[in-house]
Structure 1
Amino acid sequence: MDQLAPVCEAIARLLSPHAEVVLHDPRTDRVAGIWNALSGRSPGDASLLGELGELTEDVYGPYPKSLADGRRLSSVSAVVRDDSGQPQYVLCVNVDRTAFDDAARLLASFAAPVSGQPQALYERDWTETLNSVVGDYVRSCGTPLDRLSKQDRLTLLKQLDTAGIFAQRRSVPAVAQAMRISRSAVYQLLAEVRADAS
């Protein structure tokens, strides 16, 4: 216990205020120590370690738990064994997911679809079309721009040509910048696209 207490306190300090650290005595099934007690438990309270089974593994989790007020926890438990291999203590870290779930919801709200640009403006701004076509293609491939194969680049240029991008003045420099390739590469690949089409 004296050796493990500083470890438990260090973990609790690192994860404070989002986690509690509990040291259980499996022989008595009681809480031996607790740091940042989110659950309101105290040393001497029942551990209820039965949920982990026979303690045949060294590490359990992460697994879900809940607090009485409905907050969700992610928990992980490590079995500390004595020299004979018997469970001496079970160290549990219970992380309150509330802050992380709130942050995920906030980020998801930014990713929610927006109403979009007025079509009249969108039609006039060909660079928006360029960015949209390139972005959609990269997302559908799941490959970064700088890792696209030659065939991918040909397919993407064909889509841009079909969308009328190359009918615009100074489109080649914009396409080269959007695709992160040289202007000469755009001209060469576009020539291949149009040769195949004819």
Structure 2
Amino acid sequence: MTDERVRQWSPVARAVAALLGPYAEVVLHDVVLDEVLAIWNPMTDRRAGEQSLLGELDKLEPSATDVYGPYEKTLTDGRRLSSVSALLRDEGGEPHAVLCINLDRTPMDQAAALLASFAAPVRPRPEPLFEQDWTERVQHTIGAYVRDHGRPIERLTRDDRLALVAELDAAGVFSVRRAVPAVATALRASRSTVYALLSEVKTQRSR
């Protein structure tokens, strides 16, 4: 006959296992008999009816919510787990079960390692390699401006575009044939707009 506590908590355990599976194990323990009542998505060969080895509950640090963790555990195969234990009480307020959720950290550790591998210090780019690549200069100049000002290209004002055209002109970009169409595309503006901005830049510079 299925234990009433298993019937009561099975929907919760199955929901957690379904959401976090296959990386989460959910275990329901009997605190009186100190044995496993049920396991959902087991990570080891442990089975219901085996000893829980929970220890003395009265030695736990008092907790108003009866929730302990997350704390770290390690499986024999080296996998690290993040675990949370919830002390479940009966209608009289006495502990009668413990629900444990063990989350395999392997995917998170692997993702963290992958991200860390891309975190090498970024060195200044070798400018001599890009001196002749005016398209790279256009992309770099506009990209840096967008990043520094925190506005996407679509939200750049006329003054923003004027400042960018002035910077690109000072770098000699517009001395290159077909630069205006390329800049217009990068700024998501019309060619006539870029020509007008360039004319204004030159007028201001000649004053």
When residues 181 and 37 of structure 1 are mapped into structure 2, their CA distance, relative to the original with a 3 A threshold, is: same
What CA distance in whole angstroms lies between the structure 2 residues aligned with 1:195 and 1:50?
A: 83
The answer to whether structure 1 residue 142 and structure 2 residue 159 are counterparts is no
* Count of equivalent residues: 196
| Maintained 8 Å contact 1:55/1:79 | no
What CA distance in whole angstroms lies between the structure 2 residues aligned with 1:55 and 1:163?
A: 65
Selected match of 2:16 from 2, 11, 15: 11
Percent identity of paired positions between Structure 1 and Structure 2:
49
Selected match of 2:74 from 63, 67, 88: 67
Q: CA deviation at 1:177?
A: 1.4
Higher gyration radius (CA): 2
What CA distance in whole angstroms lies between the structure 1 residues aligned with 2:194 and 2:59?
A: 62
Amino acid at match of 2:26: V
> What does 1:1-198 correspond to in 2, within 5 Å?
1-24=6-29, 32-38=37-43, 43=48, 44-47=51-54, 53-57=61-65, 63=70, 65-68=72-75, 71-75=79-83, 91-109=99-117, 113=122, 119-120=128-129, 122-197=130-205, 198=207
Give the 3-state SS of the residue equivalent to 1:187 in structure 2.
helix
Q: What does the per-residue CA deviation read over 1:41-95, in whole Å, with 9 as the maximum and x for residues that have no partner?
A: 655414467898544248777x452425554444556676766888765544332
Give the 3-state SS of the residue equivalent to 1:20 in structure 2.
strand
Q: CA deviation at 1:2?
A: 0.6
What CA distance in whole angstroms lies between the structure 2 residues aligned with 1:52 and 1:134?
A: 59
| Maintained 8 Å contact 1:23/1:89 | yes
TM-score by length of 2: 0.65
Which sits farther off after the overlay, 21-30 or 167-176? 21-30
What CA distance in whole angstroms lies between the structure 1 residues aligned with 2:182 and 2:85?
A: 54
What CA distance in whole angstroms lies between the structure 1 residues aligned with 2:181 and 2:201?
A: 18
Which sits farther off after the overlay, 78-87 or 32-41? 78-87
What CA distance in whole angstroms lies between the structure 1 residues aligned with 2:95 and 2:187?
A: 58
- Could you list the runs of 5+ residues in structure 1 that have no partner in the other structure? none
- Could you list the runs of 5+ residues in structure 2 that have no partner in the other structure? 1-5
When residues 116 and 56 of structure 1 are mapped into structure 2, their CA distance, relative to the original with a 3 A threshold, is: same
| Maintained 8 Å contact 1:55/1:87 | no
Which sits farther off after the overlay, 8-17 or 25-34? 25-34
What CA distance in whole angstroms lies between the structure 1 residues aligned with 2:15 and 2:105?
A: 20
| Maintained 8 Å contact 1:39/1:67 | no
What CA distance in whole angstroms lies between the structure 2 residues aligned with 1:51 and 1:123?
A: 70
Amino acid at match of 2:128: Q
Amino acid at match of 1:171: A
Q: CA deviation at 1:191?
A: 3.9
Amino acid at match of 1:179: L
What CA distance in whole angstroms lies between the structure 1 residues aligned with 2:71 and 2:110?
A: 17
